[in-house]
Amino acid sequence: MSRIAYVNGQYVPHQDAAVHIEDRGYQFADGVYEVFAVHQGRMVGEQGHMDRLAHSLGELRIDWPMSARALGVIIREVSRRNRVRDGLIYLQITRGVARRDHSFPDNTESALVVTARRMPPLDKEQLRKGVGVITIPDIRWQRHDIKSVSLLPNIIGKQQAREAGAYEAWMVNNEGMITEGTASNAWIVTKDGELVTHNASHAILNGITRLSVLEAAVAAGVPFSERAFSVEEAMQAKEAFVTSSTSHVKAVTSIDGHSIGNGHIGELTSRMLDLYVDFIETKGGPQNTNTWN
């Protein structure tokens, strides 16, 4: 089956899909994106992704290419045409095509690309196998709440992780606090059994998966704290995990080669994975989706 992409008003074969050489996304990384998980034929956290997209576009003063409702129709259509039952939808909006000039162009229409990819269904056994993370300096700009396509520090960090044989790199700010992973949010479980993840601020991307896990924790009465935690605290944590639309809830069993807990997935992490899957299957995604900073 050949893949289909949506590019500026047209559904085209994926291998022929292309944008203009003066698209500002291509030249300046002047654009934003979203990655939606599709689980058992349903988009996870659609409203949350749309609200976060509105935040990213608004902060950068990029126009919507169309109404959110019309965009929803296209996303579902791309998913349908690619027969995605489990997988990912990628959406990118840039400030459009214009003669190269740093300042915003006048009267340029935003450019829209939507692609979809089938993936194996969420596999709890796989997610329960622990992975390693490394820590690296957070060298990004100061607006991580905006889901910008400008991802150089993230891709370099992820590559460092891969070369170190790790799954992810956790970024550490100047105060020694872990902000998040290069493409995921970072979590620990303290010795007292409290879930901890960085508070939503300009310092992190407020993940849709993160919000689902927090809402699932509230519903189950699991104690949690949204605050920064240091590398030292993470090293001494009982458990650790990452969350994202692509990693769901994934156990972390080592940080910089140092074993976390007993080196296997922790009890609460395992429970949060179950709660998360139940949550998205019953609620579809986070209900409180206006929490962008």
Among 79, 110, 115, 244, interactor with ligand PDD by CB under 6 A: 244
Query: Which part of the chain contacts ligand PDD (CB under 6 A), choosing from 69-77, 162-170, 243-251, 253-261?
Result: 243-251
One symbol per residue from 102 to 141: x for binding ligand PDD (CB under 6 A), - otherwise; what is it?
----------------------------------------
* 208 lies in the site for ligand PDD, by CB under 6 A: yes
The residue with its CB nearest to ligand PDD is 207
Tokens of 72: 């929803």
Number of residues that bind ligand PDD (CB under 6 A): 14
Q: Which residues contact 163 (CB under 8 A, 6 or more apart)?
A: none
For ligand PDD, the closer CB: 98 or 243: 243
Q: Nearest distance from residue 143's CB to ligand PDD, in Å?
A: 12
- Residue 180 touching ligand PDD (CB under 6 A): yes
Neighbours of 133 (CB within 10 A): 27
Q: Is 164 in the site for ligand PDD (CB under 6 A)?
A: no
Residue of 90, 86, 178, 184 lying closest to 131 (CA atoms)? 184
Beta carbons within 10 angstroms of residue 188's beta carbon = 24
Which of 135, 243, 253, 254 touches ligand PDD (CB under 6 A)? 243
* Subset of 12-51 contacting ligand PDD (CB under 6 A): 35
Give the type of residue at 171.
M
Piece in contact with ligand PDD (CB under 6 A), picked from 69-77, 115-123, 179-187, 279-287: 179-187
Q: Are 82 and 116 in contact (CB under 8 A)?
A: yes
For residues 244 and 44, the answer to whether their CB atoms sit within 8 Å is: no
Q: Which is nearer to ligand PDD, 132 or 286 (CB)?
A: 286
Smallest distance from the beta carbon of 56 to ligand PDD, in angstroms? 12
Contact range with ligand PDD by CB under 6 A, out of 74-82, 176-184, 190-198, 269-277: 176-184
Catalytic residues: 147
Determine if 183 is a binding residue for ligand PDD (CB under 6 A).
yes
Q: Which is nearer to ligand PDD, 65 or 207 (CB)?
A: 207
Q: Could you say whether residue 179 binds ligand PDD (CB under 6 A)?
A: no
Applying CB under 6 A, which residues contact ligand PDD?
35, 180, 183-185, 205, 207-210, 243-246
